[in-house]
Amino acid sequence: MTSGRGPDVLRDRFRGTLLGLAVGDALGAPAEFLTAEQVVEKYGVITEMLGGGVFDVAPGEVTDATEMMLCVAESLVAHGAFAPDDIMRRLAQWLDSRPYHVSLTVRAALISYRSGTPWDLASRRAYEILGGPTACNGSLIRCAPIALLYRADAATRLEVSLRESTLTHFDRLAGWSCAAFNDLVVAALHDRLLDELPAITRSFDDEDRRVAALLRDTPGAEVEEITSSAFVIDTLRTALWTVLNAADFEHAATIAVNLGNDATAAGAVTGALAGAVYGASGIPPRWLEGLAVRERVTGIADRLFELAGVD
């Protein structure tokens, strides 16, 4: 693990957070929608960017996790701050590009927005259309750039994490999960993930006890309790548990994607947190070399680093 908190280390970890997300997404693509048992049957253990899977991606190609993250990140860079109407516009343009995968919740919100619903009402309208909870992981997989830009401003980071989630996810559990994850990312950037976990947990006791319980219980959980699914709590638990128990970035990402099911989300969120811990220099070069969006993601991470005012 990289030590210290100097500018060079922090820049490496900004890059690692976003590159780790993209790597985990691409690595998980062939396992998407397979059970863990089916992953073993078809691939053995996934340790390389194989491509294929239900989306038939090329090796190193990314899916919705990275694509939506870039919509958020590039908007933050363009405006130097959170611009919700611009993020919704970018997400709607992404939807028009016919991506490999769009979750039902995200699709409903973006179609509503594209049909004329104001950006701040689109997720409520989607909730009404779907007729049920929207606490899926679609906002969690894209929220990491918020942690980077607002690394030193906890109050704004909390506010923006919640508001950005509500662009597509009306259920507040999704937003609180994003807020918790971004706090974890910031702690990881400074080598303090385990040290700050109790304080982060306590900060959610009065906000969402489901998130607080997850943060409190996950470090002591058994591997059998870790589940990959589209439910935001499951994805957050997978990322935290895996990073706390892994030896390095490669170990963490490999564990996450081989759980199957929502493997791109598990890989992306785990990869972002592991990347904040180990930096881009801790990601296996063979994975970075094969990553289709490597230069684009690196460039946007560097711009966020500059905007964050790191000295």
**Mean pLDDT estimate for the chain:** 95
The residues near 292 (Cβ < 8 Å, ≥ 6 apart) are 26, 58, 60, 61, 62
Give CA–CA dist 145/274, Å, rounded: 14
Quick one: average pLDDT of 111-131? 93
What is the mean pLDDT of the segment spanning 17-41? 97
pLDDT of res. 4: 47
Say which residues have a Cβ less than 8 Å from residue 223's Cβ, sequence separation at least 6: none
pLDDT of residue 2: 41
Confidence of residue 21 (pLDDT cuts 50, 70, 90): very high
Q: Could you read off the pLDDT of 168-197 as tens digits, one per residue?
A: 999 999 999 999 999 999 999 999 999 999
In this predicted structure, the answer to whether residue 311 has a pLDDT above a threshold of 70 is no
Cβ neighbourhood burial of 124 (10 Å; 0-12, 13-18, 19+): middle
Q: What is the mean pLDDT of residues 1-17?
A: 80
Question: What is residue 5's predicted lDDT score, i.e. its pLDDT?
Answer: 63
pLDDT in tens, 194-215: 999 999 999 999 889 999 999 9
pLDDT for the residue numbered 310: 72
- pLDDT for position 293: 98
Which domains, and CATH codes, for the chain?
7-307 (1.10.4080.10)
Q: Is the pLDDT of residue 230 over 50?
A: yes
**HSE, side-chain direction, 13 A CA sphere, residue 252:** 34
242 CB-contact burial (10 Å; exposed 0-12 / middle 13-18 / buried 19+): buried
pLDDT bracket for residue 7 (50, 70, 90): confident
pTM: predicted TM-score of the whole model, two decimal places: 0.96
In the predicted model, what is the mean pLDDT of residues 13-20? 98
Dump pLDDT digits (tens) for 255-291.
999 999 999 999 999 999 999 999 999 999 999 999 9
